[in-house]
Amino acid sequence: MKIGHIENGIVLDHITAGNGMNIYNVLNLGKLDCAVALIKNAESPKMGKKDIIKISTLLDIDLDILGYLDPGITVNVIRDGEVAERRTLALPQRVAGVIKCKNPRCITSVEREIVHEFKLVDPVKKVYRCIYCEQKV
């Protein structure tokens, strides 16, 4: 299979196989008015299989959300057909507006306008805690 190169845009590479559609949906890529290619289960010498997302426009992506969803992603910014910037993501120290606290007694359950915010407490087990009630996710 051959997907053409992009002149200006973003390539999300090294997505865990099967996680590409989730990232596509969380980033609302279906609402973009540009070409978006989602490649599932591409062969990878490093990972065995991986997903790739190519977006044919430059846009502002929340890297903390991507790092939370799949910390091994590589973000490549393409300008004039060349990789202008490459970033390998990791688990963010804080995540806001991505996870919802499940504690019914948390202030975020009562005060709907408060943004759900979590801090990383165990990077090995990928455990986050609500900054308001300490509920573990």
**CATH number of the CATH domain containing 39:** 3.30.70.140
Q: Are residues 76 and 101 in the same domain?
A: no
Q: Are residues 125 and 70 in the same domain?
A: no
Confidence at residue 67, expressed as pLDDT on a 0 to 100 scale: 92
- CB-count exposure of residue 61 (10 Å: 0-12, 13-18, 19+): middle
Q: Are residues 77 and 101 in the same domain?
A: no
| Full residue range of the structural domain in which residue 13 is found | 9-88
pLDDT tier at 2, thresholds 50, 70, 90: low
Rounded Cα distance between 53 and 12, Å, is: 5
Which among 88, 103, 122 is the end of a domain? 88
Pairing of strands 94-96, 48-55: unpaired
Identity of the amino acid at 10? I
Quick check: is 69 in a domain?
yes
Summarised one tens digit per residue, pLDDT across range 39-66 is 999 998 988 999 999 999 999 888 888 9
Q: What share of the chain is helix, strand, coil (3-state, %, to 5)?
A: 15, 40, 45
Q: Are residues 106 and 123 in the same domain?
A: yes
Quick check: is 62 in a domain?
yes
